Amino acid sequence: MSIWVPIISTIGGAIVGWLLGFWGTLKVEQHKRKQLGKDFKEGLCAELKESLTQLVANYYLVNRTIGNINREMLEWVASMGVGTNGKLSEWSKEIEKWLKLSGNEVAALSSQVKASEFTPISLRKFNLSFLKENISSFSLLEPDFRRSVLVIRTNIGYLNEVIADRNFYFEKTFDSALTPENRSNLDINIKMAFELIAKLSRKLAEEIKKLIL
């Protein structure tokens, strides 16, 4: 028997063993990445769901403040699947009552509860802290999901800018040196900011709902 036979057999066995070890390590790493991606996606969806609730609450509160409540808007709030969680819970009974009214009755009641554009309502900016703190895991998400999240993050940044503008204009109303003309301009800016906040909040809420629910 040739002396090369056992040598070749030994080398072949070593190669096979190395390949099996490499394949096993690769499978373990793939499993780890898959689990990390799953955990990251679950955490991100939880954060986006919380943002969804806040966006719907902002949309309702802003429209209530400027007297722009109608039946279509109320039905939209009810359709968003957030129930009356978080900030929206403050208005749950009112929303339930209004949904039982006709369109004309809703319009009449809306004008009665309308507040001033200068009402100090709380509109906090959105942080998406989980996404920021775990951005290194972003590549683990599916490409389509990543693209959708990037669009949402961009639009949230824009919404935050408008909220900051509204808050700035509101603070300016306390300036005792304001001229009537400047005060009138502030009125216009605040109203425009409110309308844009409502529009962006609704658009973002719909984008998030489509992605995670």
What digits encode the pLDDT tens for the residues 29-78?
A: 655 777 788 889 999 999 999 999 999 989 998 998 888 889 899 999 98
Q: Which of 39, 49, 76 is nearest to 60 (CA)?
A: 76
Q: Which of 72-86, 101-115, 198-212 has the highest average model confidence (pLDDT)?
A: 198-212
Q: What is the pTM of this model?
A: 0.80
Helix (H) or strand (E) run with residue 156 in it: helix 143-172
Question: According to the model, what pLDDT value does residue 91 have?
Answer: 74
CB atoms within 10 A of CB 88: 21
- Res. 17 pLDDT band, cuts 50 70 90: low
Question: According to the model, what pLDDT value does residue 25 have?
Answer: 59
Task: Inform me whether the pLDDT recorded for 204 exceeds 90.
Answer: yes
